[in-house]
Amino acid sequence: MKSFSFKIDPITGEDFYEVYVTGQRLLNNPCLNKGHAFPRDERHELELGGLLAHGVSSLDAQANVCLEHYRRKSDDLERYIYLMELQNRNETLFYQVILRNLEEMIPIIYTPTVGQACMQMSHILRRARGIYIHPDNIDSINQIFEDVTLPDLRLIVVTDGERILGLGDLGSDGMGISIGKVGLYVAAGCLHPACCMPMCIDVGTNNERLLNDPAYMGYRKTRLVGAAYDDFIEKFVNAVKRAFPHALLQWEDFAKHHAFDLLDRYRDRILSFNDDIQGTGATALAALVTAARIRETRMREMKYVMAGFGEAGRGISDNIRTVMEEEGLTDAEARGRIFAVDRQGLLLADDPALEPQQKAFAHSRSDVAGWKLANPDRIDLADVIRNVHPDVLVGVTAQRGLFSEEILREMAAHCPRPIILALSNPTSKVECTPDEVMKATNGRFLMATGSPFAPIETPDGVQGIAQCNNLFIFPGVGLGAIISGAPKVTDRMFTAASKALAQMVTPEARRAGWMLPQMKDIRESSAQAALAVAKEARDSGIGRRLDDEALERLIRKAQWQPHYVPYRLDRCSGRH
């Protein structure tokens, strides 16, 4: 049963919500609660007269009080808990507070603090949020979806909790990631919060710490595998298609042995994408396109080493290859400039242990003939750096300190300004820090990291450290795909979003070493990415056939800004 509907007055053109609940039920609904900002006429009509103190507040005044409360908290986890409680009371107020303090609060509601929160989710959870689907309720999924009270669900972020950031299997505690990503869709992509839903596919956990923790709230069995897992996902996707036919489904933090299969299986059946593969790849590509401009070169002229070759490593490599081919290289030439390193060292084509997603970027033995190796039985990361002399080193390994001083010095020895992307989250898992790169290269470097780092002083002045966070890509891709009416999300849409993002980095910012826009510009970045996606969908024949100006008007109109909307009670439905 819906709790409200979006309406427009046919005479005045006024936007309002037609609401079907009153009194305490209205105050308990975070999408509808205005707290003491309910005007007096609505208090009377909606049966709130004795439930609120006499004074009438404003959204800005409420936000000021919340900020006072927030800044009294003693540490980041307490700040996270406070913001989640605020979101569960009043979503409009929550987003007003976030948007007035974006640079301060994005690291709290998402990386790096969200990782700490997920590690302790069952111990800090005050009120469940979103939808949990598990083996004991999967057969009731159609009814569960019918009971969603939101008026028009257009976005779903779902995780199975098996590979949360760099922290591994967190079971249903991984729901914190889905909640965080939905928050970013609203804060950065500007989708209306009543159109978004976080979900968790809780198929168990293999994490003994959680299974032995009395406070753990997830499905307390080992994970479903094989056909049982596949059948579970199939039921989930079919139910989403039936209940929410116009919704975008974002796969989030699935382990690589499922992520690639799910993307391939469903990308043409439902409007969907995998942020860890496609979003990470597109964000890193935007940073590298900008880095090439800073160095006054082209992508095709650089060489790349990828440390870690799961979802993120493959996604980044695919995007690099695409641009090099656009610049004139053949597929073989482009692949030949990318050197992928994983647990077994450099990926080689004759290795029987190669995973399916690794084979396309494995090198032949002849490619490495004559290399000088520390150990002839293994080609490790240091060997690759010494023999390849790369321009770019990308880390998606969740191994703190993997990029040692020796490796960074070797990068700088053969490259006038090495490009370092240390992308692992949270901060405790980063391959190297800006300070470490600064010391090893004598300040001659460009750098992006997954979590935020402050600008750093170099011999040539203060240099920005770009936050290469998917936040710069996925909200815009999602918004653009929804606005375009496309039936699927294509790789070309992500490439278009990358190029639009890179175009936003001004010449002044590039001179200061910034490879991506800054967080304060995130809403405009999302708008530009969304427009690029919608245009690409149109030009490829799968999106709405509108001109550029019409598409931009739709995107700007869809970008929600926190504000309180007038309510009118539907007295005829009997639902309240």
Among 7, 181, 429, 499, which one carries the catalytic annotation? 181
| Rounded-to-5 percentages of helix, strand, coil across the chain | 50, 10, 40
**Chain centre distance of CA 556:** 21
Q: How far apart are CA 325 and CA 179, in angstroms?
A: 37
* Residue 255 one-letter amino acid: A
Q: Measured on CA atoms in the order 255, 260, 263, 266, is the torsion positive or negative?
A: negative
E strand or H helix that includes residue 528: helix 522-539
Q: How far apart are CA 51 and CA 40, in angstroms?
A: 12
Active-site residue flag, 17: no
Helix or strand or coil: residue 182? helix
The two structure tokens encoding residue 517: 């826009």
- Give the Cβ contact number of residue 400 at 10 Å: 16
Place of tokens 């689907």: 133
Active-site residue flag, 181: yes
Distance of CA 307 to CAs 92, 312, 424, 433, 453, Å? 41, 10, 11, 16, 21
The counts of H helices and E strands in the chain are: 24, 17
Among 20, 80, 82, 110, which one carries the catalytic annotation? 110
Q: Which of 63, 69, 73, 72 is nearest to 101 (CA)?
A: 63
Q: How far apart are CA 253 and CA 477, in angstroms?
A: 18
Helix 405-414 vs helix 434-441: angle between axes, to the nearest 10 degrees? 50
Q: Which of 185, 133, 113 is nearest to 477 (CA)?
A: 185
User: Are the C-beta atoms of residues 473 and 279 closer than 8 Å to each other?
Assistant: yes
Active site residues: 110, 181
